Chain A
Amino acid sequence: MRKTFFAAGAGAAAIAAAIALAGPAQAAEGDAQLSVLHGVPGLTVDVWVNGNRTLDDFTPGTLAGPLALPAGSYEIAITAADAADASAPAIGPVSVNLAANGNYTAAAHLGADGKPTASLFTNDVSQIPAGKGKLTVRHAAAAPAVDVLAGATPVITNLANPNEKTLTLDPGTVPAAVAATGTTTPVIGPADVAVAEGTHTIVYAWGSLADQNLKLAVQTIEGLHSAPGSVPGALNGSASSGGAGTAVATAGFGLAALALLAGAIGAARTVRARRAGQ
């Protein structure tokens, strides 16, 4: 594996490079996070960002990153593995704009027509309510629109390449299958998809229906949890020094909960990309 990363190109790029190299090379406050998914069957590639070979011998079904990048515009090109440069890309070059603190996945995949293409997906890294997980399904396969079934129940319908849909769920395992829209015969799965509390699980359907190599790829973004809004612990106040005695009671939890949710939304976020094998 090549480990070399070149800092800059020519012209305007060189100026920007000189500025950037003066600063620290580590992820900085406000950096965007970019992951790259390879979803084109049978093609080992190199990925070039701004003319620099950034991923070498990148194989189908793998996920790279996240790479912390200062907000701005980047040019991504995908070439055959070990191309001398990015001048003859198989996909692209394409330009992407990454916002400060944004979280993105650039996916090389097949279009609905079977031709290789690339899509930039924006990953939702907002906080998830306590006790919930988030599941997004992205259609990145050479296939018509699909339904996603949990067991026998369609939970996402008529999802077309390159669209996505997101569900907020109780944590657990979803027995997920993908079928052509309006049908229940799986073209992928059923496969167990784990939805963890406080984690955004992103599932990509990729490959080609015609070539019978449809698969699922999974990306997880953890650390999006919220804390419970309160801890109960009393039944009647008999432990209080005030010692109110009679068993009058109350309700009002709903109002309290609304306040909690509102409070949670403004809280700070921490995003960590979960590493494989964790």
Chain B
Amino acid sequence: MTASSTTAPGCRRRHAAGGGAAALVAAALVLSGCGLGSSGGAGNPGGEAVPMATMPPGTGSPGPALSGQEPTPTGPGGTAVPVRPVVPPAGGIPVRPATAPAAPAVSAPTSLTVAGTAIDMPVVPGGVSAEGVMEIPEAFNRASWYKFGPAPGAAEGTAVIAGHIDTTSDRAPFSALKSLAAGTVIRVGRDGAPPVTYRVVGVEMMAKDKFDGGALFRRSGPHELKLVTCGGRWLDERMDYSDNVIVTAVPA
């Protein structure tokens, strides 16, 4: 699967007082930084008709018309090219109407409870900012589910729910993630479907400068729930924590 590693830190303090290049982007980013305003922000409200964004260069080229070409394939200089046999896949070649596939029905998570902690909070869908940062709510007592990836209860891939580790002045419930014991029960309420229960199997720290999004946000393979927040050391020079805390849980 994918393995895009990046160097981007994500946890940021809110009120910009920085200088230099950072200040240039501060005004535009104050609403998208550190999970601010996901539910009502400038991000990507789900399901609505969308503005056309970019048109990559070079995509207007013609599909080459094939009619009228030489019936016998020849290589440069007229050398005969070996004609390859066509070996069909087992079960034949799938043929279907050229119509749009039906969108799969997904039961979005609505609540998250972690036994033995203060984590008992609503979950809202979150997308990704224009800069590729997962959107999470500003409120410390709400968590965000990555709506483009698998949902809790999915057949495969990871369902990612993220929340703040702190508020502007205090710790938030997600600060408990780093000390969860194996076996801790996690319950996720869902919209229009029964809740699903998970059991913690591990807690890891992932350095933000070695962030492996492909592993965290995988869409295939065994289904797991990933709870994510910040952790490690606060780095004044980055104005960010050094790590993400990632709790992995499997269906109970």
Interface, chain A (partner B; CB < 8 A): 3, 5, 7-9, 12-13, 15-17, 20-21, 25-27, 37-38, 49-52, 54-55, 58, 61-65, 67-70, 72-76, 91-96, 106-107, 111, 117-122, 124, 127, 129-132, 136, 138, 150-151, 153, 155, 159, 162-175, 193-198, 201, 204, 217-220, 223, 225-244, 247-261, 263-264, 266-270, 274-278
State the main secondary structure of chain B at its contact with A.
loop
Query: Number of contacting residues on B, CB 8 A?
Result: 129
| B48 contact from A58, A127, A172, Cβ within 8 A | A172
User: Which of B154-181 touch A at CB < 8 Å?
Assistant: 160, 162-172, 174-175
Show 5 A/B contacts (Cβ-Cβ < 8 Å), sorted by A: A163-B60, A168-B55, A196-B103, A230-B213, A249-B17
| List of 8 A-B pairs having minimum Cβ-Cβ separation, nearest first | A257-B131, A227-B213, A234-B11, A230-B10, A240-B234, A251-B26, A276-B96, A217-B98
Within the assembled complex, what's the spacing in Å between the Cα atoms of A257 and B220? 25
Q: Tell whether, in the assembled complex, residue A166 and residue B6 are in contact, meaning their CB atoms are under 8 Å apart.
A: no
For A51, list chain B residues within 8 Å (CB).
Answer: 83
| A259 contact from B6, B33, B146, B241, Cβ within 8 A | B6
For A117, list chain B residues within 8 Å (CB).
Answer: 65-67
Q: Tell whether, in the assembled complex, residue A118 and residue B67 are in contact, meaning their CB atoms are under 8 Å apart.
A: yes
For A251, list chain B residues within 8 Å (CB).
Answer: 12, 16, 18, 22-23, 25-26, 29-30, 33
| A257 contact from B129, B230, B231, Cβ within 8 A | B129
Within the assembled complex, what's the spacing in Å between the Cα atoms of A267 and B5? 8
Within the assembled complex, what's the spacing in Å between the Cα atoms of A139 and B81? 31
The residue in chain A whose Cβ has the minimal distance to the Cβ of B169 is A238
CB distance from A181 to the nearest CB of B (A): 14
What is the 8 Å Cβ interface bit string for chain B, positions 69-95, against chain A (1 contact, 0 not)? 111110100001111111111101111
Q: Tell whether, in the assembled complex, residue A230 and residue B133 are in contact, meaning their CB atoms are under 8 Å apart.
A: yes
Q: Tell whether, in the assembled complex, residue A233 and residue B163 are in contact, meaning their CB atoms are under 8 Å apart.
A: yes
For B169, list chain A residues within 8 Å (CB).
Answer: 236, 238
Within the assembled complex, what's the spacing in Å between the Cα atoms of A64 and B57? 29
Q: Tell whether, in the assembled complex, residue A70 and residue B84 are in contact, meaning their CB atoms are under 8 Å apart.
A: yes
CB distance from B38 to the nearest CB of A (A): 10
Question: A94-B66, A124-B59 are known contacts. Are A228 and B86 too (CB-CB below 8 A)?
Answer: no
CB distance from A61 to the nearest CB of B (A): 6
Q: Tell whether, in the assembled complex, residue B239 and residue A73 are in contact, meaning their CB atoms are under 8 Å apart.
A: no
| A64 contact from B4, B30, B95, Cβ within 8 A | B95
For B44, list chain A residues within 8 Å (CB).
Answer: 131, 170-171
User: Which of B11-53 touch A at CB < 8 Å?
Assistant: 11-18, 21-26, 28-30, 32-35, 44, 46-53
Q: Tell whether, in the assembled complex, residue B13 and residue A236 are in contact, meaning their CB atoms are under 8 Å apart.
A: yes
CB distance from A45 to the nearest CB of B (A): 12
Within the assembled complex, what's the spacing in Å between the Cα atoms of A165 and B60? 5
Question: A118-B66, A251-B22, A277-B101 are known contacts. Are A230 and B84 too (CB-CB below 8 A)?
Answer: no
